[in-house]
Structure 1
Amino acid sequence: MSQLPLDLPHRPALDREAFFVSASNAAALTMVEAWRDWPGGKLALTGAGGSGKTHLAHVWAADAGAVVVDAVDLPQSDLPALAEIGAVAVEDVDHIADLPTPREAEAALFHLHNMLSGAGGKLLVTGKGAPARWRIATADLASRLHAAGLATLGAPDDALIHAVIVKIASDRQLDLDPRLPAFLALRLDRSLASIAGALADLDRQALAVQRRITVPFARQVLGL
């Protein structure tokens, strides 16, 4: 018999200890950790979806005493209170262009940038691709983002893919066959977002049929 699996939230580990360093992200990590010396007090952290931008933003926030906010929430945020903290990470700035009224979020980010800059604060912005591709309509904001230092998370290598599989399984408290991470690393799409989706599928199906996640089970569920 199968059960209806509940889509219970799980809390990913976003601390420095859980951030696996590989050739694909070492340079970006070095730049983020050198936040005291960012030119102009700002850095743009870029990479594909699921590449680790959020994790690295939280690593920086813990080190710098910063707060992490989503770019689309800025119009409703208390900007002076954020600026008073002195260090802010604004995630997914590239999503602003998809809002019904993007100018409001752009204006909020522009004011936050200027308040932090005037007080000697630090600003980390994240998004897919370089800031020049973020479709920012406000020219003054676009020029300020283009002037930020750039740290890019590269395509994941084999070591990172294996480590991410183990980490997500740990976050979800999955009971995996020890052979499974290596099996999946060789067969899944080399995208961290795809890996996360595959493990979520395995989690749901394993809960539904009350089975351990083995290599044959993964082969069947994921069509590998």
Structure 2
Amino acid sequence: MKQIALPFDELNPDRTDDCLIVTPSNAIAFAALGNSASWPGHCALLLGPARSGKSLMARYFSVQSGRVIDDADRLSAEDLFHQWNAAKNSGEALLLVSGKAPGEWNIELPDLRSRIGAAQLLEIGELDDELAEQLLLKFLRDRGTSIGPEALAFVVRRIERSHAAVEDFAKKANALALAEGSAITLPLVRRLMPA
């Protein structure tokens, strides 16, 4: 696992989430962002579930080397086609970010559908144990709290394999610990996550 501090200080100095944690679940997609010259048509689709780090990766890419369209599936086909052509005319690589596979997009223009179908596909995989652990530690650290190793291991073994579930659990555990004036211990997490 490696944690990459992203160069966003000049964009928003108050952010606390500007570190992207790279583990096997997202390492291939992250590495491919640095090789946009090899993308077919200089375009890639970055796909992943909610709260999986897509936006952080996209921000990293835009600062480093290219144009990003977040929530690309929500753009009209005409707007998307215009953005595609603008990126091509400027010589920039284009990263389209979405939580949906291209087959779920509403693309009525055959030429655009063909281009998107030929683009490099970068997928953020299912949350692995290493990423679940590191995300939980980060979300708690961002709230000024921590969790003991025994409680951490208990949570990682049982938590739903989604980035949003890990963040939600961190919020609940932190709130309960603050309300009770206690640390985030194994008995506390057992109450939030029955065995």
The interval holding the TM-score normalised by the smaller chain is 0.7 to 0.9
Counterpart position of 1:200: 171
Counterpart position of 1:149: 120
Match of 2:92, as an amino acid? Answer: G
C-alpha separation in 2, matches of 1:172 and 1:60: 27
Counterpart position of 2:93: 122
Counterpart position of 2:158: 187
C-alpha separation in 1, matches of 2:46 and 2:152: 28
Counterpart position of 1:92: 71
Following superposition, the deviation at residue 111 of structure 1 comes to 1.2
Task: Note if contact 2:21-2:131 (Cα within 8 Å) is conserved in structure 1.
Answer: yes
SS at structure 2 position matched to 1:198? helix
Match of 1:53, as an amino acid? Answer: K
C-alpha separation in 2, matches of 1:63 and 1:208: 43
CA RMSD of the aligned region, Å? 2.3
Following superposition, the deviation at residue 186 of structure 1 comes to 0.5
Counterpart position of 2:8: none
Task: Note if contact 1:90-1:125 (Cα within 8 Å) is conserved in structure 2.
Answer: yes
When residues 207 and 108 of structure 1 are mapped into structure 2, their CA distance, relative to the original with a 3 A threshold, is farther
Following superposition, the deviation at residue 214 of structure 1 comes to 1.7
Match of 1:208, as an amino acid? Answer: A
Counterpart position of 2:31: 30
Task: Note if contact 1:28-1:45 (Cα within 8 Å) is conserved in structure 2.
Answer: yes
SS at structure 2 position matched to 1:20? strand
1:173 is aligned to 2:177: no
Counterpart position of 1:220: 191
Counterpart position of 2:40: 39
Q: Any gaps of 5 or more consecutive residues in structure 2?
A: 1-13
Match of 1:93, as an amino acid? Answer: A
Higher RCO, 1 vs 2 (CA within 8 Å, ≥6 residues apart)? 1
Q: Any gaps of 5 or more consecutive residues in structure 1?
A: 1-9, 65-86, 97-101
C-alpha separation in 2, matches of 1:220 and 1:193: 19
SS at structure 2 position matched to 1:151? strand
- Tell me which of 6, 13, 17 is aligned to 1:13: 17
C-alpha separation in 1, matches of 2:95 and 2:16: 21
Task: Note if contact 2:133-2:156 (Cα within 8 Å) is conserved in structure 1.
Answer: yes
More divergent stretch after superposition (48-57 vs 113-122):
48-57
C-alpha separation in 1, matches of 2:138 and 2:25: 17
C-alpha separation in 1, matches of 2:189 and 2:84: 46
SS at structure 2 position matched to 1:54? helix
Following superposition, the deviation at residue 129 of structure 1 comes to 4.0
Deviations 1:98-151 (A, max 9, x none): xxxx64xx3322211111111211211111243223233444433332221111
Question: Percent identity at matched positions?
Answer: 31
Following superposition, the deviation at residue 195 of structure 1 comes to 1.0
Aligned residues: 182
Following superposition, the deviation at residue 12 of structure 1 comes to 4.1
1:111 is aligned to 2:61: no
Task: Note if contact 2:68-2:94 (Cα within 8 Å) is conserved in structure 1.
Answer: yes
